[in-house]
Amino acid sequence: MSKKIIIANMKTKSNYNDIKKYLKILEGRVTYPGVIFMPTSLYASYFIEKGYKVGLQDIFFEKEGSYTGEILPCQAKSLGIKYVMVGHSERRAYSNESNQIINKKIRNALEEKMGVVLCVGETKEERALMETREAIRRQLFTALKGIDNLKNLIIAYEPVWAIGSGKIPSKRELAKTVDFIKEFIAEIKEGAKVKVVYGGSVRSKSLPIFNQIENLDGYLIGGASCDAEEFLKIIELCENIK
C-alpha cells in the first residue's frame, strides 16, 4: 500500500505565538515526505524557513493586475509556495465562490506549475436526498472544464456535513465515493488519473480504519492539524502503513 498524502489545513485557528509554539514542538519530528502545511498566509514564510512543503488555503482567480488584499499564483510561487487549495466549502459558503471562479483559480495555479488541491463534497441536505454523486459530479465537471493536464491536481473529498461535526462516513461509503471520483475523472478526461484525499473530522483515532482503504491517497486535516501532538500522531499512523 502506498504512503498517504497528509495536508494540514490550519484555517484561521492560530495566532503568531501559537505558530511559534507549534513549530517548536514539530522541530526535528516531521520527516515524512508526504506532509503539506497550509497555514494562514501570514505565517507561510515561517513554515518555508523550516523546510516544509507549504501551500496556501486560497488564491486569487486572476493571473496579474491590481487586486488589493489578494494573492496571485505567481506571487505565491516566487516565495517558494508549491501548493494551493481551492473550492473549500467555507470559501464557497462565506465568499460565494462559484465553480466557474474555482475553474479560473485552478487554471492559473496549474499554469504556474503549482500543485492544486480541489475540494468537493455534498451538504447534509444533498446527502439526505441521496444526491452525493450528483453534487460531486456537478462540482468537478464545471471546476475542471477546459483543463486537460491534471498531473498536479489532487481532489479532496470533504463532505460538508462532516467538517467539524465529529461525524464521518463509513469505510464502505468513503471507499465507494473515492472510486466514483476517480472513475468520473477518467470518464470526462480521457482516462486521466488523479489522487483523492479525504477531509472532514479526521482524527488519529479514526485513521486506522481509513488507512485500510487502498484507493484513498491521503487526508486533508482541518482542526486536528492545529494540535501539534495530535498531528504528529496522524503522521506516524500514515508513516507506519505496511
Q: Is 158 a catalytic residue?
A: yes
Catalytic residue among 88, 97, 112, 126: 88
Q: Is 27 a catalytic residue?
A: no
Distance separating alpha carbons of residues 26 and 10, to the nearest angstrom? 14
Helix segments in the chain, DSSP class H: 16-26, 44-49, 73-78, 89-94, 99-111, 124-128, 132-143, 171-188, 207-210, 228-239
What is the residue whose three cell numbers read 496556501?
Answer: 56
C-alpha cell at 221: 486535516
Catalytic residue among 49, 131, 158, 187: 158
Q: What is the CA radius of gyration of the chain?
A: 17
Q: Which residues are catalytic?
A: 88, 158
